[in-house]
Amino acid sequence: MSLPYPSMGLPSIGLRTLRRRRGIQVWLAAIVAIVLFAVLALAIRATPAWIEQAGTPNDVESITDALFGPQVIPFEVLGVLLTAVMIGALVTARPLTVHGSEETSLVHPNLSLPAPAGDLPAQEIPGSPLMAAAIEEVHG
Amino acid sequence: MIPVAWSLMLSAALLCVGVFGLLVQRSALRVLVSVELVLNAANINFVAFANANGKADGIVFALFSIALAAAEAAVGLAILLHFYRHGRSVDVNKSTMLRW
């Protein structure tokens, strides 16, 4: 049995070869992770003991003092960033059309599945009038 | 109080688990979880050194980092959803759409 190997655009290879490559990949990843942990552990062991200072960082008051004192500008910037991210995520995840419309032709041929039986008309997802006008323009 | 070295060891172990997941997993959702593990390893370092120094700045940094991780997860999940709608799969081996 042969399967397409879409990650590299190579011609079909055997399923056994694919499984062997997967096994090699797992072992290589395990070796990389273990070596990384060993290097980090050796570095931690080689570092002189940290001189711990007395303090009460777990106190909520000290956290709020830092958050609304010297760190208030990054705190505000973070709020703006989260708002932008929320809007961006909503725009990115928003569906334009459903299956059967022209937009699905953008799907890479290696990735597309057969369309469902029957020619479904393009359906508009409820959204802004601007988006509805754009979809209307695409579909005539 | 827990010594800093123990916290650093825990952080290193978490980092390695995350790196292993990044290298092995093929589902984009699991890759996203692995990225979160790596970010949480950094957060453990922040909190450990904040406890050792007796200042709250490290904890505030960890709070910022958690917020950034939430933002990253939101964008990642949105991209994942978009990718699934296009390819009907979340296999990262098939994500050749953005490849040069």
The tens place of each residue's pLDDT in chain B, 100 residues long, gives 788 899 999 999 999 999 999 999 989 999 999 999 999 999 999 999 888 888 888 899 999 999 999 999 999 999 888 888 877 888 887 777 666 6
Each residue of A46-98: pLDDT tens digit? 988 777 777 666 678 888 888 898 989 999 999 999 999 999 998 888 776 55
| Closest in A33, A45, A53 to B52, CB measured | A53
Q: Give yes or no for a contact between A139 and A131, defined as CB atoms under 8 angstroms apart.
A: no
- Supply the ipTM of this predicted assembly: 0.84
Contacts of B12 in chain A (CB under 8 A): 36-37, 40-41, 44
The answer to whether A1 contacts chain B (CB < 8 Å) is no
Contact A32 B23 (CB under 8 A): yes
Contact B56 A6 (CB under 8 A): no
Question: Residue B90, Cβ neighbours under 10 Å: how many?
Answer: 18
Please report which confidence band the pLDDT of residue A123 belongs to, taking 50, 70 and 90 as the band edges: low
Instruction: Kindly report the backbone phi and psi dihedral angles of residue A54, in degrees, each rounded to the nearest multiple of 5, phi listed first.
Output: -75, 145
Contact A111 B89 (CB under 8 A): yes
Give the mean pLDDT of chain A: 73
| Closest in A29, A58, A63 to B60, CB measured | A63
Contact B77 A110 (CB under 8 A): no
What single-letter DSSP state applies at residue A115?
Answer: P
Instruction: Kindly report the backbone phi and psi dihedral angles of residue B42, in degrees, each rounded to the nearest multiple of 5, phi listed first.
Output: -65, -40
Contacts of B84 in chain A (CB under 8 A): none
Q: Give yes or no for a contact between B4 and A52, defined as CB atoms under 8 angstroms apart.
A: yes
pTM of the model: 0.70
Contacts of A71 in chain B (CB under 8 A): 57, 60, 64
> Considering only alpha carbons, which residue of chain A is nearest residue B51?
A57
